Structures are given as structure tokens and as C-alpha cells.
Chain A
């Protein structure tokens, strides 16, 4: 290891100050490097024989609090494994259960499960014979005379237009709107009511005792 520099080692006056500093820094770095190596090679003292046994024998068994054990248990990662083949029985039971539920469970079409308001309505079928018509709608007091409300459909004979509705009991006025422009009363209805504008509306009385087929 280098020591403090001997004055005789000093560079001559002709040498530049820069070189002097560089040489000094170089010596300093060598010193630091040598010290690092010396520390690295510095021998360790051996621990007294039997120290490990002495330490271990002095450790008292620990009682871990319950909450710590629960906390550790909750934090411990787990691996879930399964065999697809073992899932087959469970899948079969699930499919069987769903099938039974759909087969024997209540359905929306079941009258017993129908909305009470729907159950109190009475089915009425409206028909109009008009072979030359392109489209026919049913307008009436039950749909606020809305022409887009109830479109009628052609039946097999092609000249008959029909529509089935469920209406509440009571008196209803109605008419057919042919091709979106001509209001035609129902010729088969025995009752009419003037609309106050020179047209006649058909009148229908719906009763539970007498299902209507207009």
C-alpha cells in the first residue's frame, strides 16, 4: 500500500500542477483499493464451539396468538386442482335438476301464474272481409284510436283480415282503418255510435259470459 508521498518524490517545478494532482489522485485511489482488498481478506474470528446449540436450546417454544394463525391461514396461497372426469356426475345432476325445473316448474303461459290483470281480460277476435285492401288496422277506444296500435293480419282465405285481442269487460267503440286512410265500421256489429264528424263507430259489449267473435 502506498503511504504519504515522500517530498523527494514530488515532481520537479517544470512539471505541471495538473500532472501533480493526477499523480496524487492515482495514489489515493490505489490506497482506497488496497484498503478494500484488505478488508475483504480480513480474517473472521470463529464463533465459540457449541454456540448454535446454546442459542437453539435457549429458545422457548412460541405460542402464536389465534388471530395471527387465522391471518396467516387467510394469506396462505392455495392451489385448486380438479379432474374433468370427476366433474361429470356433478354436471349430470345439474342438467337433470334444470330439466326438471323447466319441465315441471311454473311457466308464464300457465294460467295459474298469469298476472291477475291479464286473467280478467276476455279474448275477442275481430275480422273484416276486404279482399282489395293492402293493410287494415283496428282502431278503437281501447287503443286511443291509434292507427299504428293494432295491425290486422290476413287469414288463410286471403280476403279476411283478423286480429285477436284481450279486452276488459264493458263497452268499447271501434272501427277498421283500411289502407291507412279509410275508416270502415264493422258491418257485422249490431250497434253503432256516431263519432260527431259524420262517421259511425261500431260498438262492442264485452262480457265474460259471452265470448265475442266479431
Chain B
């Protein structure tokens, strides 16, 4: 595998998840993930070697996903993070209950995140899920660092409102 193959291997998962959040379809998300890497490969000369690859790649993916969302031609799946297989390894009814509660929490979180504007949602995912620095978030979302901080801060409050509204 060449150097670009290593990058594909390393970053395909967050890009696939970004696409899934944007389009809600595994097949479409896989297509968009592939398209993201192809575009990155074509534009590789424009990438500044001193900068981080992931924010640059994320930025390409986000633009692609937005373009695709405008001309929506697919049907979102109704997928739940409640995976029955994840409960099969539970030893006791207590474990099953805990896992089910956790899965429900994640499901509620996904729904609440879906309600947020994309830029707030992605800022939160990049910050708290992918553990990116504010500088990287700014690069990925084409914002200034101070604007990225504001998006994360406001996004978190907006998420809290959504979460509480859905789960009073």
C-alpha cells in the first residue's frame, strides 16, 4: 500500500461517519467517502505539507456532502444505533438493561445532533468525538479560530436545548 493508501486507511472511518450523518444512507455515504478521497488525491498538489491532512480532507468531504445534499436523490435509511447483537454478550439482565439504556442515550443524542445546523453539529463532533484542536476545527470548517470556538460553545448549548426538549 502506498502513502495515500495509508491515509485512506486511517481517515476513511471519520469521513464515512461524516457522510452518514449528512445523508443517512450507508451506500450513499460510502460513495461520498470514495469521492472525497478521489478529490483529495486530485488536489494533492494544493495541500500544504506543513499543515494537517485531516482538517483539509474533512473540508473537502463537507463541501462534497453539502453539494450532494442539495441535489438529494436517495432515501435515508431508518437505522438505529440500538443493535440487538450488542446485547447478546450480556451475562445478566442488569447488563442488558444498562446497555439498552446506553444505546437509547446514543439514539437520543443522534436525533438531537440531527436537529442542529450542520456547522454546529460538525464542530461538536470534531471537538468532542474526534478530539480535534480548535485550530484544526477552524481549518476543517473554513472558519477563524475564534469563530470555531464560538460554534463549539453555542453548539453545545443548542444541543442541550434539543436534548432536553426531546427528553423532558
B163 engages A35 (CB within 8 Å)? yes
List the 6 closest pairs (A to B, CB-CB), nearest first.
A39-B128, A47-B16, A55-B37, A36-B128, A47-B12, A48-B30
Contact of B156 among A32, A40, A64 (CB under 8 A): A32
Question: Quick one: CB contact mask for A114-140 with B, threshold 8 Å, 1 for yes?
Answer: 000000000000000000000000000
18 contacts between A and B (CB under 8 A): A1-B163, A32-B156, A35-B156, A35-B159, A36-B156, A38-B106, A39-B109, A40-B129, A40-B131, A43-B106, A46-B13, A48-B16, A52-B12, A54-B34, A55-B33, A55-B37, A56-B1, A64-B45
User: For the complex, what is the distance from the CA of A28 to the CA of B20, rounded to whole Å?
Assistant: 30
How far, in Å, is B148 (CB) from chain A's closest CB?
Answer: 16
| Interface SS of chain B | helix
Interface size on A, residues (CB 8 A): 29
A56 engages B156 (CB within 8 Å)? no
How far, in Å, is B44 (CB) from chain A's closest CB?
Answer: 8
B106 engages A42 (CB within 8 Å)? yes
Asked if B88 is at the interface (CB within 8 A of a chain A CB), the reply is no
User: For the complex, what is the distance from the CA of A48 to the CA of B26, rounded to whole Å?
Assistant: 8
How far, in Å, is B17 (CB) from chain A's closest CB?
Answer: 5
- Name the residue among A48, A55, A58 with the largest chain B CB count within 10 angstroms: A55
Asked if A4 is at the interface (CB within 8 A of a chain B CB), the reply is yes
Question: Nearest B residue to A46 by beta-carbon distance?
Answer: B13
Binding site for A on B (CB under 8 A): 1, 4-5, 8-9, 12-14, 16-17, 20, 26, 30, 33-34, 37-38, 41-42, 44-45, 81, 105-106, 109-110, 124-125, 128-129, 131, 156-157, 159-160, 163-164, 167-168
Contact of A59 among B17, B41, B81 (CB under 8 A): B41
Question: Nearest A residue to B42 by beta-carbon distance?
Answer: A62
Binding site for B on A (CB under 8 A): 1, 3-4, 28, 31-32, 35-36, 38-48, 51-52, 54-56, 58-59, 62, 64, 68
Using known A-B contacts A3-B164, A39-B109, A54-B34, determine if residue A45 contacts B128 with beta carbons closer than 8 Å. Answer: no
How far, in Å, is B97 (CB) from chain A's closest CB?
Answer: 17
Question: Nearest A residue to B2 by beta-carbon distance?
Answer: A56
- Chain A residues contacting B81 (CB-CB under 8 Å) are 43
A52 engages B5 (CB within 8 Å)? yes
User: For the complex, what is the distance from the CA of A184 to the CA of B104, rounded to whole Å?
Assistant: 127
- Chain B residues contacting A47 (CB-CB under 8 Å) are 12-13, 16, 30, 33
User: For the complex, what is the distance from the CA of A51 to the CA of B10, rounded to whole Å?
Assistant: 12
Contact of A40 among B13, B14, B30, B128 (CB under 8 A): B128
User: For the complex, what is the distance from the CA of A38 to the CA of B111, rounded to whole Å?
Assistant: 13
Contact of B109 among A28, A38, A56 (CB under 8 A): A38
B13 engages A55 (CB within 8 Å)? no
Using known A-B contacts A3-B164, A32-B157, A59-B41, determine if residue A39 contacts B13 with beta carbons closer than 8 Å. Answer: no
